[in-house]
Structure 1
């Protein structure tokens, strides 16, 4: 059928590919995660497969759309303005640089933190090929954010990213010190953010600190409840843990977590997340 267009949805390489008529009406879509082509009309089967041929891989299946799961229904009912899935790493910082008027020193600090968030965010995004889901810049009631939220078969990880500045980083039970800077309470704040995420998602969430471009990372042997990540190690670290969530559980938690309203319920306790 002439005029069919293939358009992507979601993050590059991981979202669905929609096959649309010239007027924009969808006639099918290809879900790369399940390797399935869903047809809204079987009469267009050959035309749809022809349009999708450059993108199909492996042993794909073709058929009518599957019956929506509870997670699908939540996603379909989610208003676009409340959807966190499109958020980029460091979304609040990008807004501050674009629309704010920070001084030169503040702008330099923001760019430095943004670079660390983008690098760690890109590595976590790559884990989506392993049946994981990632959200960035999750807003919280106290005005802070969770830098990254990773949901996958090994569980849920709440990640706080810190620039290493090519200096030695020392991480203790309560404080993190980078170079000669004043110690910061990042381990404690990571725990508080994960504890809040555990409450709103009603699922265990593990706190993690990501050190980006540190020359060396020293971790106190007593620090056992906070995961320590670095670029290049996140995938192996997450994959080394046993699976505790089935794919439907991952989808259900992701559908709940991507809704802004899940996180902005009133709370009397500070989450300890990053405040810009």
Structure 2
């Protein structure tokens, strides 16, 4: 069976959903997907209470990093920087204001909402810098998708996906989420797949195992409920991401800087 994804912004979520159901039977064209590495069993813990373990050293030699030019340095990215380039192709400020006054919806509304959500979460993450955390934004992937934020620090690496649903009631299960009781959306499954991807990429360039956890952050919502069995993805509202700040015991300061030096290379993600 062949599935064609026509709307690129949904690509990551659709692929995650297919992978959740098909497992190893899924391949992606034109580039075949890499064999999925076994995912370690999720520790038995409540969200917000991580296990602490020192990363193990790997036996194989890590790959060499490509040269880093200013134009390919992701440390220069601001929150939502990739969405800005897409949104600039949409209606002008005047047109948007007119549509808002007339209460007219647009296909661009979700892009502008996503941009605002990434900026708000990005501001919260930047506040963790004094605690030894480093953050990168808008990491483009070779499949056309992107990683909203990557947080690197003493508590490990967190792949962060933001969702802006103003005034909504959100429920999150093991793989799916529902917004205002609507159709299931593969938010949790997509976050897990993204963390697996990040772990594989960083693992190629590090001499130690890099602990990566998925995080799903909701912006502007009225209420948030999690399934009792949801332990594999950290689920937060935007102001709750500060809970990541005190986490420690996963990476040394030297390892934090090395992981950041790898992650800031645009080409390591596009080659994956």
Common fold by TM > 0.5 = yes
TM-score range, shorter chain: 0.5 to 0.7
Query: CA RMSD, aligned part only?
Result: 2.2
Q: Who is 1:194 aligned against?
A: 195
SS of residue matched to 1:151: strand
Q: Which residue of 1 aligns with 2:219?
A: 212
Q: What SS class does the counterpart of residue 152 from structure 2 fall into? A: strand
TM-score (norm 2): 0.66
Residues 124-157 of structure 1: CA deviation (Å, up to 9, x unaligned): 1111121110001111111100110000001000
Deviation (angstroms), 1:116:
1.0
Are residue 176 (structure 1) and residue 174 (structure 2) matched? no
SS in 1 for 2:159: strand
* CA distance in structure 1 between the aligned counterparts of 2:122 and 2:65, rounded to whole angstroms: 23
Q: Is 2:249 the counterpart of 1:243?
A: yes
**Residue 83, structure 1, aligned to residue 73, structure 2:** yes
Relative to its length, the structure with more strand (as a share) is 1
The corresponding residue for 1:93 is 83
Q: Deviations over 1:63-111 (max 9, x none)?
A: xxxxxxxxxxx99952011111111222222111223569961222211
More off after superposition, 250-259 vs 163-172: 163-172
The runs of 5 or more residues in structure 2 that have no matched partner are 1-63, 93-103, 204-209
- Output the CA distance in 2 between the equivalents of 1:94 and 1:104: 19
Cα deviations by residue, 1:33-60 (Å, 9 ceiling, x for unpaired): xxxxxxxxxxxxxxxxxxxxxxxxxxxx
Q: Comparing both chains, which one has the higher relative contact order based on Cα–Cα distances under 8 Å and sequence gaps of 6 or more?
A: 2
Which residue in the other structure is 2:137 paired with?
Answer: 136
* CA–CA separation in structure 2 for the residues paired with 1:129 and 1:118: 19
Structure 1 gaps, min length 5:
1-73, 267-276
Aligned residues: 192
Native 8 Å contact 2:211 2:250 kept in 1:
no
Residue 75 of structure 1 contacts residue 255 of structure 1 at CA under 8 Å; is this kept in 2? Answer: no
- Which residue in the other structure is 1:225 paired with? 232
Divergent runs of 4+, >6 A? none
* Structure with bigger gyration radius: 1
Mark the CA change 1:221 to 1:155 in structure 2 (over 3 Å): closer, same or farther.
Answer: same
Partner of 1:115: 116
Give the secondary-structure state (helix, strand or coil) at the position aligned to 2:88: helix
Structure 2 partner of 1:165: 166
Is 1:257 aligned with 2:247?
no
